[in-house]
Structure 1
Amino acid sequence: MAGSVEKKLTDLGIVLPTPASPIANYVGFVRTGSLLVVSGQLCLDAEGKLVAKGKLGAEVSVEDGQKAARMCAINVLAQVKAALGDLDKVVRVVRLGGFISSVPSFLDGPKVMNGASDFMVTAFAEKGRHARTTIGVSVLPLDAAVEVEGMFEVS
């Protein structure tokens, strides 16, 4: 039976996809004590297609970057669901880290990352407010525009 967070997502029309398998020598998540760390998730849709490909400040707009960051956050939650079985076991979203593939002059990485941050607050309300880092990078796997990682306090 789905908990209150999953019900909220369902009411918003959001279905968590099957978590993507790691593409190298790492795991999708690690739990140690009450911390759950989720590896970086790309902006892949349910069919495994990138929501945004390329660089911010070139072929990808801020708005499309925000949609990509939101999709990354959905994929982060898919990993959390796989780890815990129930999103209601999230006590707090502790931190998100965002990697924005961008041209050197692009300065709106934090605006792009709001797509992921806003989604976490929508899903978890006050428990979704978190610390955050946003880093511009020259390239991401598969030429993805955005990648997001997360850390959660869990019960």
Structure 2
Amino acid sequence: MSAIEARLAELGVTLPDSPAPAANYVPYVVTGDTVYVSGQICMNADGLILGKLGADMALEDGAAAARACAIALLAQLKSACGGDIDRLVRVVKLTGFVNSTADFTQQPQVINGASDFLVEALGDKGRHARSAVSAAALPLGVAVEIEGIFQIA
């Protein structure tokens, strides 16, 4: 087991198989030492996490959805690294999209669910630049979608 996966196991997290793309795109692109991971929508063991922040979903549930996106990002990263996630040098940047009402302004607190998890799991390797934006709707009605940029060895 890799060092990163051992740390994830301590947190009670096992990386799932990387989700297949839902349309005509690739799940990640590796160029040089950079991995660009396509947007990952929030899913858990029960399926898609649906909802709109500011309407029918609480902030804490949105943050949990963002955490689920971060786990999916790491699963894609592991695939991009040929199964060796310990090639990760650092998380460079996340862009988080929050399905929210026009008057909801706590998108950063929602995306903290992903950021906090990555720092907890990866330490300083998990610290990153970030954007958190509102979206009127997201694919399939999910609450959160996050894309990521990673540096690998």
TM-score band, normalised by the shorter chain? over 0.9
Detail structure 1 runs of 4+ shifted over 6 Å in the superposition. Answer: none
Paired residue for 1:142, among 134, 140, 143? 140
Alpha-carbon distance in 1 for matches of 2:43, 2:32: 29
State how far apart, in whole Å, the 2-side matches of 1:148 and 1:41 are: 5
Matching residue within 66, 69, 73 for 1:72: 69
Partner of 1:40 in structure 2? 39
Counterparts of 1:46 and 1:21, CA distance in 2: 16
CA separation in 1, counterparts of 2:121 and 2:148? 14
Partner of 2:20: 21
The offset of 1:120, in angstroms, is 0.9
> What does the per-residue CA deviation read over 1:48-79, in whole Å, with 9 as the maximum and x for residues that have no partner?
x11x3121001011000000000000000000
The answer to whether residue 105 in structure 2 is matched with residue 96 in structure 1 is no
Percent pairwise identity: 51
Look up the match of 1:121.
119
Q: What is the total number of aligned residue pairs between the two structures?
A: 152
In the superposition, the TM-score normalised over structure 2's length comes to 0.96
How much does 1:18 deviate? 1.2
Amino acid at match of 1:6: E
Structure 1 match to 2:56? 59
SS at the partner of 1:25? coil
Using the TM superposition, give the Cα deviation of residue 46 of structure 1 relative to its aligned residue in structure 2, in angstroms.
3.9
Aligned to 1:12: 11
With the length of structure 1 as denominator, give the TM-score of the two structures.
Answer: 0.95
